[in-house]
Structure 1
Amino acid sequence: MAVAEIENARISSSSSTDPDGSSKDHDSQGVPVLENYVTQANVEHNLRHDFVDHRLNDPNMETEKIDAVEAALEKGDYKAEVKLEEELEEDSPYPEVRAAVSNVDDPTMPVMTFRAWTIGLFFAIVIPGVNQLLSYRYPTVTIGALVAQLLSYPIGCFMAAILPERVFKTRFGSFTLNPGPFNVKEHTIITIMSNVTYQRAYATNVAAAQRVIYHFDWGFGWILLLTISSQMIGFSMAGFCRRWLVWPASMIWPANLGTTALMSALHNQINTGEGHMTRFRMFLWVFLGSFVWYFFPGFIFLMLSVGNWFCLIAPKNVVLNQMLGTQQGLGLIPLTLDWTQVTYNGNPLYTPWWSQANVFGGFIIMYVFLGPILYYNNVWNTAYLPYAASGTYDRFGNSYQVANVTTADHKFDPEAYNAYSEEYFTITYAISFGLSFAAITGVIVHTALFHGQEIVRQFKTSLNEERDIHARLMQRYPEVPKLWYGILFVICFGLGIACVAGWDTGLPVWAFILAIIIGAFFMLPVGVVTAVSNQEVGLNVISELIIGYMCPGSPTGMMMFKVFCYMSVYQGLSFISDMKVGHYMKVPPKDMFIAQSVAIFLSCFVVIGVQDWVFSNIKNVCTKAAKDNFFCNYIIVFGAASEIWGLIGPAKLFSAGKQYNKLLWTFLAGAIFPVFVWLAARRWPRSWIRLVNAPVLFTGTGLLPPATGINFTSWALVGFTFNYMIKRYRNGWWTRYNYVFGAGLDTGTAVSAVVIFFCLVFPDGKNRAFVDGNWWGNTAFENTADYQFTPYKDLNGGAFLPPPGEFRPA
């Protein structure tokens, strides 16, 4: 029986009464009258499909709920079966979603209002522009979408109070500037327009690197084509993945739950019950507390942020500093009180504990056990380098100077390379490459084994067949036609061809097409893992490896291939994530499409314009002589990667006979490991093994380096406290407040960081805490081997290997 028919039957049966006025909702045994419209066989089929069949492939499904369903089915307890079925019909089967998303909808709420467009476009212009400007400066600060979400609420309420309510009639219809109180759907549209634009456009790095590293500029038109095509082609591909990544209830997208919880709190959508503090009041207190507190670790007492307290016991003891340190160390005793340190790997209150346990397990196995074994045995000469640091090094233990192996016209010079040095990685960087390779094959095999049947089934499923309460509520709104996404893809594809073939980029058209194909292939498996675990498998390393082998000697081509391959997935999943927010908040899909398209298109002009202004008006930008610390550290690193992977090429690192060649075996390991996990989970379906997720284990530590151990140990500690201990033993508090608590910490810290930066740091061009507040709490951590990145072995000014030309031909 169709879901819509069941819903109609439910309404009909629930509204019927006996002649004496009593309800017929239950029979004489207390069983709900579900049998009026569905048979016991239907109920059992639904329960098996929605719960039992998910035991292996859905780690977010409550084990207790699955056990209850299995027990009811085994006993043939129809009363219990119907009760469980009703619970499924009335709300999400996932406690995380129930805690953060309302299960009701008001379809009469206006969405695309004058207020929504005015505020949304304002933030879509200001926030990406400011973030683009600040990205060139050190230290930088990013204004996130949560800040826009918070600020837009009072602005929207103010506009609702002052705008005229008069209805204007035109030949195209009537409209009003003020349709009533500022509502949650308007607020959602504004937040989404901010969320898809607040991060700087990745493609602008290419033009910036051309100016800074290679000293040429192809002008506004070329970078505009590259930026629009790379930013929006992922959006067009995302539209075709909605049925797998947006509609199903199992695709919960944990990172969105802080946004939806804050939205529900601001608009009082979810009642906390009598005698409990409202969610909004909880958010407000946490916001104010975190705002005030961040002035201490962020400005007044920096040691609270750095947290390498135990290194002060023996500041010159290298091993101690590498194990307990936070700058190049493992941070095994997490004593940071800085929320930005804790959330470097994502907000732990939003990430399910099983996912965090996988990430932390990977960190312990690969970096705490394997890493020291390799490092202190000097494998790959890593003992002459810091324990944890990004970038590449030369044989003297210094940062690799790419300028030493390039000609005056920025071509690779093999003779200079043979006379200078090979490239060397720190042990954590080398391990991270291996894990990145394993994650690529692991995500494909894991998705095929654990989600393959569901993907095939979902291919034939329409939104009307989804049983999730939120999907049923969305049935009243027309879906975006696939033609819209198809037209957008064709336009973006054409713009991409134009920017690839219209200039001497060094990237063949066939390579551009291959980048799009790779991105499209990985969109679904990476999306499935991200949607359930809050951990994304990045394609940046594999894209660099592929293009480096295919088209060596082309830095610009390498950068463009990476942009299209990596960003088609990253940006596409960002759009899908926002589609899920709209799905949760019951925003019509067509309105979402229009808002997202307009916002990202407009922001492309903004970020390119800001970048052009920076290079035209800031003297000595991207050099150490730049005013106000506009050093462009990120651009320098991005450009150096183009030289290392595009100019020198990965063949000199990973090919047969090269020192890192064995890391390529991790591709095979990544493909095999999920098979063992799947077989073990089928053999012991009730054990913890079903929660082992190979892609999450491989990719969860992908930010290390530049992240260090403290970003994972503190993150896991907070996650264990909230999403395991409190969720298990104080579930009422967790359900009411966990997500608004996390949102309060995020927004309070973010706003505080903005105030500190613009009011205390930016005016002097430096952090005055190091000048006016030059006291122990702001300087002690500098006098440690941890902060100074001291390696285990000292070269004493020498080299640990001769140049490659003397012992290893290029």
Structure 2
Amino acid sequence: MRKNYRQVPEWWFICILLFNITAIMFICRYYNDQLQLPWWGVVLACVVALSFTLPIGIIRATTNQAPALNVITEYIIGYIYPGYPIANILFKTYGNGSMKLGISFLQDFKLGHYMKIPPRSMFVAQILGTTISALVHLTTAWWLMSTIPNICDRELLPASSPWTCPSDHVFYDASVIWGLIGPHRIFGELGHYSAINWFFLAGAIAPFLVWLAHKAFPNKHWIRLITMPVILASVAEMPPATPVNYASWVLVGFLSGFVAYRYYRGWWSRHNYALSGGLDAGLAFMGVLLYLCLGMENVNLNWWGSEVDGCPLASCPTAQGVTAQGCPLY
């Protein structure tokens, strides 16, 4: 590729980076009353994105898992700059979104490299596609908000209206929790969940424990196959499901992989990606089939697996002095 095509100069990337950072700082400064994010918040968000792009890019390239920074960015700016929900949204967008889109940019370049597409052509196509999509998104959002009355307001919209903006409500809820209320009142000394902060340290130490175990038992080859970022990133998929669903997913994936690797190692080395794709395709197929056969007919299956509640105290009040049946008194 290097012999046949001219590479993309680094100064092209640097110019785009500096232009965007300058534009963002100018906008946040000029519209500070509306956007709330000071200039140092923009710089800090850029530092966070640049710092995590390489390690998370390596994790993505080797495991196909990419941990997100949305909670970390909300946590950081929520502690440093509490009480400003719009600033929290912007910091998360610049810190987490920039890192994710940067890795997507690299994925496109990697695909273009495999497809023997000239790097400069890939670069121009990516820049034009990004610019066009951004303008289309902005124009569409502007048009929708100016033409549809009461958009996103579920109390004023008709029951059959599709303009409820579910994703925007997720952003809004996060801005209130992490920006307006702030993590200091939830995970700090003013909250009840400060012990959760220790899991940041546990997550940082976990990969070193696997490395030490591999050094201590070099003959146990299965130890080096343990990838803590994959295990920890998979937990992000747990909240939408009940614990029994998550446990069954881990059990099926682990047993199928272990049996194939242990007893059919030659087959595993050739068809592990086919097995992974088959499991994913089977899940997607069953999801569509269950929706068509049961969901559209309003048929609900109530059994032990769907009724398991892993946190029976989740609905209990946490304010001091409030009593409720079956709940502890603080």
Aligned to 2:52: 522
Give the stretch that moved more between structures: 659-668 or 624-633.
624-633
Q: Report deviation, 1:583.
A: 1.7
Report if the CA contact (8 A) 2:187-2:196 is conserved: yes
Alpha carbons of structure 1 residues 534 and 803: separation in structure 2 relative to 1, 3 Å:
farther
Report if the CA contact (8 A) 1:782-1:788 is conserved: no
**For 1:713, which of 236, 248, 261 is the aligned residue?**
248
Aligned residue runs from structure 1 range 398-547, under 5 A = 475-503=3-31, 504=33, 505-547=35-77
Give 3-state SS (helix, strand or coil) of 2:236's partner: coil
Aligned to 2:146: 616
Report if the CA contact (8 A) 1:677-1:692 is conserved: yes
Aligned residue runs from structure 1 range 626-775, under 5 A = 626=158, 627-656=160-189, 658-687=191-220, 688-709=222-243, 710=245, 713-714=248-249, 717=252, 721=256, 725=260, 728=265, 730=267, 734=271, 738=274, 745=281, 774=297
Aligned letter for 2:233?
Answer: T
Give 3-state SS (helix, strand or coil) of 2:4's partner: coil
Aligned residue runs from structure 1 range 294-313, under 5 A = none
Aligned letter for 1:612?
Answer: W
Larger helix fraction of residues: 2
Distance 1:549 1:562 in 2: 13
Aligned residue runs from structure 1 range 773-788, under 5 A = 774=297, 778-781=298-301, 786=306
Report if the CA contact (8 A) 1:529-1:536 is conserved: yes
Aligned letter for 2:226?
Answer: V
Distance 2:100 2:30 in 1: 26
Aligned to 1:588: 118
Alpha carbons of structure 1 residues 674 and 768: separation in structure 2 relative to 1, 3 Å:
closer
Higher Cα radius of gyration: 1
Aligned letter for 1:609?
Answer: T
Aligned letter for 1:738?
Answer: A
Distance 1:794 1:495 in 2: 44
Give 3-state SS (helix, strand or coil) of 1:484's partner: helix
Distance 1:514 1:700 in 2: 28
Aligned letter for 1:734?
Answer: H
Distance 1:793 1:490 in 2: 50
- The structure whose RCO (Cα within 8 Å, separation 6+) is larger is 1
Give 3-state SS (helix, strand or coil) of 2:83's partner: coil
Report if the CA contact (8 A) 2:70-2:96 is conserved: yes
Q: Report deviation, 1:739.
A: 8.4
Distance 1:732 1:666 in 2: 35
Distance 1:609 1:717 in 2: 46
Distance 1:608 1:561 in 2: 19
Aligned to 1:335: none
Q: Report deviation, 1:568.
A: 1.5
Give 3-state SS (helix, strand or coil) of 2:172's partner: helix
Aligned to 2:327: none
Distance 2:85 2:128 in 1: 32
After superposition, the C-alpha distances for 1:684-726 in whole angstroms (9 at most, x for unaligned) are: 3342222222333322212322344436734763686479629
Distance 1:551 1:661 in 2: 19
Q: Report deviation, 1:519.
A: 0.9
Q: Report deviation, 1:563.
A: 0.5
Report if the CA contact (8 A) 1:781-1:787 is conserved: no
After superposition, the C-alpha distances for 1:741-765 in whole angstroms (9 at most, x for unaligned) are: 659949x96xx97xx9xxxx9xxxx
Report if the CA contact (8 A) 1:554-1:646 is conserved: yes
Aligned letter for 2:127?
Answer: S
Report if the CA contact (8 A) 1:474-1:586 is conserved: no
Distance 1:475 1:721 in 2: 44
Alpha carbons of structure 1 residues 708 and 596: separation in structure 2 relative to 1, 3 Å:
farther
Aligned to 1:171: none
Give ranges in structure 1 of 5+ residues lacking alignment: 1-472, 762-766, 805-810
Aligned residue runs from structure 1 range 551-562, under 5 A = 551-562=81-92
Distance 1:584 1:794 in 2: 49
Distance 1:664 1:500 in 2: 31
Distance 1:702 1:803 in 2: 34
Distance 1:557 1:669 in 2: 29
Alpha carbons of structure 1 residues 791 and 785: separation in structure 2 relative to 1, 3 Å:
farther
Q: Report deviation, 1:789.
A: 7.0
Aligned letter for 1:665?
Answer: W
Report if the CA contact (8 A) 2:77-2:91 is conserved: yes
**For 1:802, which of 317, 320, 323 is the aligned residue?**
320
Give 3-state SS (helix, strand or coil) of 2:300's partner: helix
Q: Report deviation, 1:667.
A: 2.5
Aligned residue runs from structure 1 range 196-207, under 5 A = none
Aligned to 1:334: none
Distance 1:628 1:589 in 2: 45
Give 3-state SS (helix, strand or coil) of 2:299's partner: helix
Report if the CA contact (8 A) 2:88-2:175 is conserved: yes
Report if the CA contact (8 A) 1:622-1:630 is conserved: yes
Give ranges in structure 2 of 5+ residues lacking alignment: 323-330
Alpha carbons of structure 1 residues 489 and 724: separation in structure 2 relative to 1, 3 Å:
farther
What TM-score results when the alignment is normalised by the length of structure 1? 0.34
Report if the CA contact (8 A) 2:83-2:182 is conserved: yes
Distance 1:572 1:738 in 2: 28
Alpha carbons of structure 1 residues 652 and 743: separation in structure 2 relative to 1, 3 Å:
closer
Aligned letter for 2:299?
Answer: T
After superposition, the C-alpha distances for 1:394-437 in whole angstroms (9 at most, x for unaligned) are: xxxxxxxxxxxxxxxxxxxxxxxxxxxxxxxxxxxxxxxxxxxx
Give the stretch that moved more between structures: 690-699 or 526-535.
690-699
Distance 2:276 2:223 in 1: 31
Distance 1:597 1:605 in 2: 12
**CA RMSD after TM alignment:** 3.7
Give 3-state SS (helix, strand or coil) of 1:610's partner: helix
Q: Report deviation, 1:635.
A: 1.2
Q: Report deviation, 1:601.
A: 0.8
Report if the CA contact (8 A) 2:187-2:194 is conserved: yes
Identity across the alignment (%): 31
**For 2:312, which of 776, 781, 792 is the aligned residue?**
792
Alpha carbons of structure 1 residues 643 and 732: separation in structure 2 relative to 1, 3 Å:
closer
Distance 1:634 1:554 in 2: 20
Q: Report deviation, 1:634.
A: 1.9
Would you say how many aligned residue pairs link Structure 1 and Structure 2? Answer: 310
Q: Report deviation, 1:518.
A: 1.2
Report if the CA contact (8 A) 2:184-2:190 is conserved: no
Q: Report deviation, 1:483.
A: 1.0
Q: Report deviation, 1:499.
A: 2.0
Q: Report deviation, 1:486.
A: 0.9
Aligned to 1:395: none
Aligned to 1:431: none
Distance 2:314 2:96 in 1: 38
Aligned to 2:325: none
Alpha carbons of structure 1 residues 790 and 661: separation in structure 2 relative to 1, 3 Å:
closer
